[in-house]
Each structure stands twice: as C-alpha cells, then as structure tokens.
Amino acid sequence: MTRPVHEGVWVLAEQAGGRVLGVSHELLARGRSLADKRRTALTAVLIGHNVAPADLAELIERGADRVLVMDSPALEHFLVEPHAACLSHLIREHCPEIVIAAATSTGRTLMPYVAVQVHTGLTADCTVLDIDPASGALLQTRPAIGGNIMATIRTSEHRPQMATVRPHSMRPADRTPGRKGEVLRVSPPEALPAGRMRRVGFIPNKETHPLAAADAVVAVGRGIKKADNIPLAQKLADALDAALGASRDVVDRGWLSYPHQIGLSGKTVTPRLYVGLGVSGSIQHLAGMQTAETIVAVNTDPDAQIFHVADVGIVGNLFDVVPVLVKKINAARSAT
Amino acid sequence: MRIVVPIKQVPETSAVRMDEATGTMIREGVEAIVNPLDLFAIEAALRLRESGGGQVTVISMGPPKAAKALREAIAMGADSGVLLSDKAFAGADTWATGLVLAEAIRQLGPFDLVICGERATDGDTGQVGPGIASFLDLPVATYVSRIVSVADGVARVHRLVEDGYEVLDVDTPAVLTVVKEVADPRLPTLRGKQRAKAADLPVWGAAQLNLPADAVGLAGSPTRVVNIFLPKVARQCEKFPAADEAGIAQAADRVVALLKERALL
C-alpha cells in the first residue's frame, strides 16, 4: 500500500451565530508560522452555517491561503457527530499534514473524536508548536504533570499530526487588507449523522466578565479568610477592569462558585495581568495562571510559591495592602 | 440503568516534586489517589442509580496497584469493578488508552451511560472521554455540569461552554464527561470500605479484550514523548516587605508604575 502524500497546514476556525470567533485568528498566527517553515499552504477550515462572507475574507487577510467551508443548517451549532463527520471527511479527502485547533470546549471535544476516526495522534493543550528542522515533523510542546515539566511530543508515523493549543496563548495574526486567497465551499458528506444529540436550549452566562477570556484577573486564595471579604477583592477587580478568580481552596469552601476556579481542576487563564491576593501558589493553581504576562502577588508568607512566578511580590497583609492599591490605581486612572 | 465509569489512579499532584538534575518526577513517597475529577463522575453515576435503580461498574487501566482506586470507588458505592492490567498496556497515549477502555466497555455488555471525569489531573488532556465515545461510535456530551434527567432513552444535560450552558438531549447509550458542578462527591462509608475490601476484582489483559499487543500500550500509541525539560522560570520577583504604611505605599507605587509601564492601566 502506498501512503498518500500528506501536505499542508490546517487550522480549525470556529464560529458562533455566523461570525468567526477571535480564537481562530490566534490559530492563524500559529498556522502561518508552521506553514512558512514547511514551505506549504495554510488552510482554514470552517464548519458551520451562514457564516458572514466578510469574516471568511478576513481569515485570508489574516494569513490563510485557502478557506474550506462546509455549510449546512445541521452544522449551525457544535454537535460532535456531524462536525466530526465533516472534519474526518475533509481530512480523508485532502490529506493535510498538520491539523491544529483551539483547546476550547469545541476543539477539545471534536479533535479527540476525529483523531480516533482517522487513526492518528493528538496532543492536548500545546503551548509551543514548532517544526523539527531535520525531519520536518511537528514538535508539540505542552506542560505535563501539573506544569512541573514541559514535554515535547511527536506523532511519529501517523498523519495528520494533530494538536490543540491553549486559547489566549498567542496574539491574533495581523490583518493585511487585500491579501489574496481562495474560499472553497465543499458539500458536507451525504449522510450527516444527526439526531442522536440535539441542542434544545442555551443558558447564557450571567457573569459580565467571563474569566477565561479576561485580559486582567484578580484571584483570591485562602488568605481572603471568608466569603464576607470577597467585596474587597471585587473592588480591586473593578479598579483594574478585571474578572474575579479563585484558588481551589476558596471554591471548595464555597466562598466563590466553581466558574471562578483557576487551576488544573478549574480554568486556565492567560491574561495580560494577574493579581493574586492571599494565593499561596499550589502547583494546581500555578498550572492555570503562570502564563499570564504580568503577575503581581500579595501574601503574608515571604516563602509563598506564588512569588516564584511573580513580577512583583508584596509581602504583607492583603487587608492593609488592597485598599491602598485600589486608591492608587483609581488615582492613576483618573489622571490619564 | 447500567452505567460504566472509567477512572484513573494518579499521583497526588500537590505532593509531586521534581528532580531538578534529571527533570524527572520523584515518585517515592507520593501517594496514589483516584483522579479527583473522577470522583464527580462516580458521584453522578451513584445518584442516577439511586434515583432510577441499576448498576454502576468502575473500570481502570493501570498497573496492579490501580486496584486500590477501584476499591475506593466501590467503597463510595459502586457495585463492581474491573481492572484492565497488562504489561502490554504500559506507555499508552490517549489513543491507546481510549481503545482499551472502549473494548472493555463493549465486553461488559449493554449499558446506558459511560460517565467520565473531565480529565485526569496528571495527564491533563481530557482526550480519553471523547476518544472512548468515538471508538464506540456513540454521541458524547463533554463538560456536563448537570444531568437533568435520564428517561425513555434520552439524557437531558447541561454542557458548560465558554459563554454559558448548552441544554442538550442525548440518546442513550451515550458518553458523558462531567465537571465539578455536576455533584459533590460523597465520602466512603465504613460499610462500603468493608464491601470494597472483600470485592472480587477481575483483571483483564489484552488477550481478554481480543486486542493484539501491537495495538495497545506504547506500540499502539501514535504519539511519542521525545523530550522532557524543566520550564524556564523567566521571572525575577521584585519583593516588597509591606509591614507598615510606608512599605505598603512604596509597594503600591511600584505596582502602579509597572502597570503603567506595561500599558495595563
């Protein structure tokens, strides 16, 4: 049996309500760099319904050479079976060498399902993707064992090489107005497996500041002492226009709800600014926030683990420090 | 209702230490526990059994000592357990792990639900649950935060996504992966512990699962770890003692200056 030639880098663009999601533009930045190193074309795959043509053109302006679109009313919302049938079909027909998706609720569900269908390897939650100059293989680097070590993984024989990457771990690709490329509409496979799962409703988040996408995060740890003290942290969050997060301890004690939890068993955040208040910095928590661009920590314990990853550490009582911080930040804001 | 819960034994991560020289994990003295996120899957299964009757079977792929994890699940209330253990299973990536678990589930006979934890705290991939569903050619609802009902061959669930909760109807049999919100795990009871101690745990290897040795473990894994290294700690923490008013003011001024410098205000 001769092996088909696998060629090209694909990124999975995501859509909601007919609009391409911003995370797709982050993938284009990664995909473009891989495609250039492999001297090959970059394809954005979009599976959905009635996606705005301007958004498809934008995928090209941000680096895609080609956009493959599969459109059907059955594909409007993400449901794993029909979406997997489409992506597996495209992979079998076009034989890409590399397929990357965002580690979102969609990507983390669709990619493992498809990897089994097309019998290939998949690496979750990569923070670095690179091409091995010697072999041309995709080097997939991710934190392992709670972020204590980094592991580089290769898919040796099977193709395509598949990986998911953490959202917000890269800046979106720049836009070059007028950049040329091709939008190719492909019919979904004839028998779309629908029906075994149906979306019957949606309950939108009440939080005004979803944590995972926040540019700034104020997180509280056990040092906040009780639920009644949360408003103090909220004041700082408001001053910084930040979302409020928490360590596992705080959530386990019921001081904040689970959607606030940052860490291995909660959310991974990659904000531009992270401020930890009374957070000791367990491995479990660090794994969920240490990729933040700037880290500020307030803790009474000078040896707290959180200081190992912080840019600025304030060794002191948060109940004394936070009110001063809030005052000075608000003053600096109103001065600009 | 028949429910299968695949679980994993993991090192207690808060106790994990690294050998700085070799970049490997120090395993000595590290306690092995049931993956904390699997406890929510066990709890969700037990509650469904309590409300609708049925059987909860836990399975785990791992070395012989992983039997302890199964006994802990039985102590919580699971009815039975099967250990999937074979030297040939060693070194499996998520693909090869999903294959073994899916084959075991198939051999256990008809079922209504497979309920998995969202991911394991050591591997941290979350890929095995959807992988099992794909091997079994079943629908999967991931990140399930609430199981509203399971009746007449349909499970109604809430699925936690970035901007809210999807309400999904899934035909059974199906695979669910659950998040912490789904239920608070109970503690094992004394009676449960006694039952767990006495429980008979069959051990199935590759032969019992009719899987060729080259399809499982490292040999059957499409991915390979080619390098392991310690993450670079690039940050130099500037520490401010803030024990008095002057110290606090100085620290706060530094924070404000840094935020301005980095255009964060």
pLDDT tens digits for B72-108?
A: 999 999 999 999 999 999 999 999 999 999 999 999 9
| pLDDT, average across residues A274-297 | 90
Among candidate residues A185, A200, A222, the one where a domain is terminated: A185
Residue A158 lies in a domain: yes
The pLDDT assigned to B22 comes to 56
Q: What angle do CA B143, B61, B203 make, to 5 degrees?
A: 135
Interface membership of A300 toward B (CB under 8 Å): no
Last residue of a domain, one of A151, A185, A219: A185
The pLDDT of residue B154 is above 80: yes
Is A197 domain-assigned?
A: no
Split into its structural domains, chain A has a count of 2
Residue A184's pLDDT band (cuts 50, 70, 90) = very high
Query: Rounded mean pLDDT of A59-72?
Result: 97
Mutation for B interface: A83, A265, A329, most B CBs within 10 A: A265
pLDDT over 90 (residue A154): yes
Q: What is the mean pLDDT of chain B?
A: 92
Residue B111 in this model has a pLDDT that exceeds 80: yes
B205-223 average pLDDT score: 96
Rounded Cα–Cα distance for residues A28 and A172 (Å): 7
Choose, out of A6, A80, A141, the residue to mutate when testing the contact with B (most B CBs < 10 Å).
Answer: A80
Q: Which of residues 2-21 of A touch B (CB under 8 A)?
A: 16
Q: Closest chain B residue to A167 measured between Cα atoms?
A: B162
Where are chain B's structural domains?
2-215, 235-265
* Residue A206: inside a domain: no
pLDDT band for A207, please (50, 70, 90 cuts).
low
CB-based contact (8 Å) between A121 and chain B?
yes
Q: Is residue A1 part of a domain?
A: no
Q: Cβ contact (<8 Å) for A265 and B180?
A: yes
* pLDDT given for residue A209 in this prediction: 66
B38, B154, B163: best to mutate for the A interface, most A CBs within 10 A = B163
Q: For residue B11, name the pLDDT band (cuts at 50, 70, 90).
A: confident
For A131, the domain range is 9-185
Say how far apart CA A205 and CA A186 lie, in whole Å.
34
Which stretch of A31-35, A195-199, A273-277 has the lowest confidence by average pLDDT? A195-199
Q: Is A52 on the interface with B (CB under 8 A)?
A: no
Count of other CB atoms within 10 angstroms of residue B237? 17
pLDDT interval class at B265 (50, 70, 90): confident
Same-domain pairing of A216 and A273:
yes
CATH number for the domain harbouring residue A80: 3.40.50.620
Average confidence score pLDDT of chain A? 92
B235, with CB counted inside 10 A (0-12, 13-18, 19+), is middle
Residue B17: pLDDT band with limits 50, 70, 90: low
* Mean per-residue pLDDT, A82-87: 96
* Statement to judge: residues A137 and A216 lie in one domain: no
Domain end marker among A185, A200, A231: A185
Q: Which CATH number describes the domain made up of B2-215?
A: 3.40.50.620
Residues of A in contact with B131 (CB under 8 A): 112-113, 115-116
Give the pLDDT mean for A86-113: 97
Question: Strands A216-220 and A42-48: what pairing?
Answer: unpaired
Instruction: Check whether residue A50 and residue A180 sit in a common domain.
Output: yes
Give chain B positions within 8 Å (CB) of A287. Answer: 124
pLDDT attached to residue A218: 97
Å between B160 CA and nearest CA of chain A: 8
Is residue A157 less than 8 Å (CB to CB) from chain B? Answer: yes
Structure confidence at residue B18 (pLDDT): 62
Please tell me the distance from the alpha carbon of residue B11 to that of residue B31, in angstroms, as a whole number.
Answer: 6
Least CB-CB distance to A328: which of B223, B235, B253?
B253
Lowest mean pLDDT across B7-16, B20-29, B169-178, B189-198: B20-29
Q: Is the dihedral of CA B142, A287, A145, A131 positive or negative?
A: positive
Pick the closest to residue B258 from A328, A80, A90, A334 (CA basis).
A328
Domain-located, residue A193? no
